[in-house]
Amino acid sequence: MFKNIKKNKDKKFHDINRKRRGFKRIRGMKDILFDEYRYWDLVVNKAGNLAKTYSFKQISTPLLENLELYKRSSGKSSDIVNKEMYSFIDKNGEKLAIRPEATPGMARAYIEHGMFNLPQPIKMFWLGPLLRHEKPQSGRLRQHTQFDLEIFGEASPVADFMLILIAFNFFRELQINVHIQINSIGCRECRKEYISRLLEFYRERGKRSKLCPDCKKRIIKNPLRLLDCKEEKCIELRAEAPQIVDFLCDECRNHFIKVLEYLDELDIPYNLNSFLVRGLDYYTKTVFEILPAEDDSSRQSSLGGGGRFDELVENLGGRPTPACGFGIGLERVILKIKEKNIPLKRDEENYVFIAQLGDQSRRKAIGLFEELRRGGINVRQSFTKDSLKAQLEEANRLGAKFTLILGQKEMIDGTILIRDMESGIQEVIDYKKIKNEIEKKLNGITNH
Ligand SMILES: [Zn+2]
Ligand SMILES: [Zn+2]
């Protein structure tokens, strides 16, 4: 009996303690606060504008998909499906996954909505969150935002090239220097021959025992991934490994050469990297990654990447449809902009702040605010504040060019004060002429 009372007391104490401590966000998750949205606005607008310039149309797909979709696209042996994906069984017993990458959902949408009946290619642009259970100690987020472009129904190497060009432009226009790592991993046919040679190589005496535990499994499940292991021992071993470009069939080789020729033509800096395979099952032919230019450590983190996936749509139950795409991680882009202190363009809008003194003038000022706003003037206010000083401080904080001040005297006289926020000079003007006066002054600024 006493024991129970004590237990309850302990529990109560525990609950109170928890309430006091409150809640913290989940590991690997991040809040984006007000100031950071300046960066987000910049990057998201750049992404959207570029996509539209190159005739990509926006699409959204749900955060939840069938677990099987990712198993059949990203691949059962991929890190994404094996280690990182959040998956669960819902209340109806359905196996679901929270989106760990964007491409499979878009391929599903392409098939489900019969987009193969529309004129090809279908060019999609996508922007949204992905969730992966990454190791937080490496500073990686478990929820991150990706900008994705995909082209469905286009076999030409021009499509691969255009994607790389757009990705490159995205970074260049944000003043981030990047270079491209590129490789071709061939098609189903030519890869078969290569993989058997690769296995021969790794099975030679003494090599297998030197591999890391993950690679020992990869040898059985997904030998291509031996090439992109980040363990030092495995990197040493692979130096002598056969290179896939030597095994490409004529079609794959010609395709690859064309992509490189276009890149040369437009002076896009790239390195051939014969070990680049990109860890997902669905890639064929071209694969590429975008790396920060100044960073040449072997553990450099890529800012984005993509490639061709000519077999994906068919593997998911659609008609054979050549396709390619890329994704860029926006958190990393923003981190780079901050690291390099790239100046954000200042908000060049000319705000007009409306301040008031006293209840009556507040009512009139609210009406004036609406009138000017509808008239296309960029107005700001702080009508909940009573003191003029506090309102002028707010106007300064916002960077307003002019403040209109409406007090009791002005109410009686049918006038309003206009204050130049930089010089502090105030003029009295006729209330009825206010819109004209303001427009004249704002035009004066933009004409300089
Ligand atoms: Zn081939
Ligand atoms: Zn390894």
Assign residue 123 a region (left: φ > 0; alpha: ψ between -120 and 50; beta: otherwise). beta
The tens digit of pLDDT for each residue in 194-235 reads 999 999 999 888 888 889 998 888 888 888 888 988 889 899
Out of 339, 374, 395, pick the residue that ends a domain.
339
* Residue 66 tokens, joined: 């069938």
Cβ count near 431 (within 10 Å): 16
Binding site residue list for L-histidine: 101-103, 132, 146, 150, 278, 282-283
> CB–CB of 312/280 below 8 Å?
no
Q: What CATH number does the domain containing 111 carry?
A: 3.30.930.10
Residues 132 and 266 in one domain: yes
> CB–CB of 198/191 below 8 Å?
no
Q: Sign (positive/negative) of CA torsion 306, 308, 309, 313?
A: positive
Per-residue burial over 327-350, b if 16 or more Cβ lie within 10 Å, else e, is bbbbbbbbebbeeeeeeeeeeeeb
CA distance 431 to 247: 80
Ligand positioned closest to the Cα atom of 219 = 2
* Predicted pLDDT of residue 279: 77
Out of 339, 363, 396, pick the residue that ends a domain.
339
What's the structural domain count of the chain? 2
Cα diameter, the chain? 99
Q: Is residue 411 part of a domain?
A: yes
Per-residue burial over 50-71, b if 16 or more Cβ lie within 10 Å, else e, is bbeebebeebebeeebebebbb
> CB–CB of 117/98 below 8 Å?
no
Distance of CA 163 to the CA centre of its chain: 16
Pairing status of strand 379-381 against strand 352-356: parallel
Residues 361 and 435 in one domain: yes
Residues 122 and 257 in one domain: yes
Residues 434 and 376 in one domain: yes
Q: Is residue 5 part of a domain?
A: no
The letter for the amino acid at 252 is C
Question: Tokens 């981030």, residue?
Answer: 176
CA distance 58 to 4: 60
> CB–CB of 43/333 below 8 Å?
yes
> CB–CB of 324/306 below 8 Å?
yes
Q: 82 C-alpha to center of ligand 1: Å? A: 28
Q: 229 C-alpha to center of ligand 2: Å? A: 5
CA distance 48 to 219: 41
Mean pLDDT over all residues of the chain? 91
Question: Tokens 């002429």, residue?
Answer: 433
CA distance 194 to 198: 6
pLDDT score of 27 more than 60: yes
The tens digit of pLDDT for each residue in 111-152 reads 999 999 999 999 999 999 999 998 876 668 999 999 999 999
Residues 281 and 366 in one domain: no
The tens digit of pLDDT for each residue in 332-372 reads 999 999 988 887 765 567 899 999 999 999 999 999 999 99
Residues 298 and 372 in one domain: no
pLDDT score of 296 more than 60: no
Pairing status of strand 270-272 against strand 64-66: unpaired
Binding site residue list: 101-103, 132, 146, 150, 278, 282-283
Q: How many CA atoms lie within 13 A of 181 on its CB side?
A: 20
Cβ within 8 Å of residue 179, ≥6 positions away: 269, 270, 271, 290, 291, 293
pLDDT score of 190 more than 60: yes
Pairing status of strand 323-329 against strand 426-430: unpaired
At residue 329, the 3 state secondary structure works out as: strand
* Predicted pLDDT of residue 91: 96
Residues 62 and 177 in one domain: yes
* Predicted pLDDT of residue 6: 57
Q: What CATH number does the domain containing 408 carry?
A: 3.40.50.800
pLDDT score of 159 more than 80: yes
Q: 49 C-alpha to center of ligand 2: Å? A: 40
Ligand positioned closest to the Cα atom of 213 = 2
* Residue 372 tokens, joined: 């000017």
* Residue 49 tokens, joined: 């504008």
Secondary structure of 276-313 as H, E, C letters: CCCCCCCCEEEEEEEEECCCCCCCCCCCEEEEECCCHH
Q: Is residue 356 part of a domain?
A: yes
> CB–CB of 164/268 below 8 Å?
yes
Q: 4 C-alpha to center of ligand 1: Å? A: 73
Pairing status of strand 284-292 against strand 178-184: antiparallel
> CB–CB of 76/279 below 8 Å?
no
Band (3; pLDDT cuts 50, 70, 90)? low
Residues 328 and 356 in one domain: no
Phi, psi of 301 (to 5 degrees): -100, 130
Q: 228 C-alpha to center of ligand 2: Å? A: 8
* Predicted pLDDT of residue 426: 96
* Residue 374 tokens, joined: 């509808």
Q: Is residue 274 part of a domain?
A: yes
CA distance 212 to 79: 15
Share of the chain above pLDDT 70, in %: 92
Q: Is residue 62 part of a domain?
A: yes
Out of 339, 365, 397, pick the residue that ends a domain.
339
Q: Is residue 89 part of a domain?
A: yes
Q: Is residue 436 part of a domain?
A: yes
Name the residue range of residue 258's domain.
34-187+249-339
The tens digit of pLDDT for each residue in 54-113 reads 999 999 999 999 999 999 998 887 888 888 999 999 999 999 999 999 999 999 999 999
Residues 293 and 371 in one domain: no
Beta-carbon neighbours within 5 Å of ion ligand 2: 212, 215, 229, 231, 234
pTM for this predicted structure? 0.85
Report the run of H or E that residue 58 belongs to, with start and end: strand 57-58
Q: 254 C-alpha to center of ligand 1: Å? A: 10
Q: 219 C-alpha to center of ligand 2: Å? A: 10
* Predicted pLDDT of residue 439: 93
Q: Is residue 244 part of a domain?
A: no
Residues 279 and 374 in one domain: no
Residues 328 and 380 in one domain: no
Beta strands in 132-258 (DSSP E): 143-152, 178-184
Helix axes of 359-374 and 434-446: crossing angle, nearest 10 degrees: 60
* Predicted pLDDT of residue 44: 97
CA distance 442 to 421: 13
Beta-carbon neighbours within 5 Å of ion ligand 1: 186-187, 190, 249, 252
Ligand positioned closest to the Cα atom of 310 = 1
Residues 308 and 430 in one domain: no
